[in-house]
Homo-oligomer: A and B are copies of this chain.
Amino acid sequence: MRDAFHDELDAIGQSLVGMANLVIGAMDDATTALLIPDLALAEKVIAADDAIDHLQHELDARTIDLMARQQPVASDLRTLVTSLRMSADLERMGDMAHHIAKQARIRYPNRSVPDELVKTIEEMGRVSHKIIDKLALVMESRDLNRAVEIAIDDDEMDKLHRELIAVILDDNWKHGAEVAIDMTLLGRYYERCCDHAVSISRRVYFLVTGEYQSEQS
């Protein structure tokens, strides 16, 4: 009976990794849709967000059902509760891809990102990819070194975010308030997406060690 339980627990873990992989795809596509700009791809990301939401509902139902049937205690219970939280974080990360794609769609056929910010947004997309990819690995392997690395990688995102704001604030900014608003929100979507990834990596750290990862690392 315990083995069947741990098989189910593993299956839930695998579904969470699957969700993380969907989020990587959604974020990659959202960045591409934004920068080309590509309306069909933006629509694809927007539609795919329903799939991520659905996966979360289904996964949470399985997790709660497993709790009810198997009555886990101690570390098994902690793992299941943490699964519920991770699925919520992953769902929010999917929402960020959705928000980015919606900006691509609303500005189409124009590109919302002005020339001087294309490189910064590309970098934000690249750093997001790196962080979520590492997160999927951490979720699968429970590699604590990599879990700690994610918080450090996130500093790169914060740096890019500061650069983005500096460009908007520069005296040479000539794109007006609408583009400034778009870019402010865009920066926040990428930043928030990676914040959720950091928060999941901290949850993994806590699950493995029983201790909270220090804020410095």
Residues of A at the B interface (CB closer than 8 Å) are 64, 67-68, 71, 73-74, 77-78, 81, 84-85, 88, 165, 168-169, 173, 177-178, 180-181, 184-185, 188
Which single residue of chain B is at the shortest CB-CB distance from A92?
A: B92
Which single residue of chain B is at the shortest CB-CB distance from A60?
A: B81
Which single residue of chain B is at the shortest CB-CB distance from A72?
A: B68
Q: Choose from B68, B77, B84, B173 the contact partner of A68 (Cβ within 8 Å).
A: B77
Q: Choose from B68, B181, B185 the contact partner of A73 (Cβ within 8 Å).
A: B68
A-B residue pairs in contact (CB < 8 Å), sample of 30 = A64-B77, A64-B78, A64-B81, A67-B67, A67-B77, A67-B81, A68-B73, A68-B74, A68-B77, A71-B71, A81-B84, A84-B84, A84-B85, A85-B88, A88-B88, A165-B181, A168-B177, A168-B181, A169-B177, A169-B178, A169-B181, A173-B177, A177-B177, A180-B180, A180-B184, A181-B184, A184-B184, A184-B185, A185-B188, A188-B188
Task: Compute how far the CA of A71 lies from the CA of B76 in the bound complex, rounded to whole angstroms.
Answer: 13
Distance (whole angstroms) from the CB of A172 to the closest CB of chain B = 11
Which single residue of chain B is at the shortest CB-CB distance from A63?
A: B81
Minimum-distance CB pairs A-B, first 6: A71-B71, A184-B184, A68-B73, A181-B184, A177-B180, A180-B180
In the bound complex, residues from chain B placing their C-beta under 8 Å from that of A180 are: 177, 180-181, 184
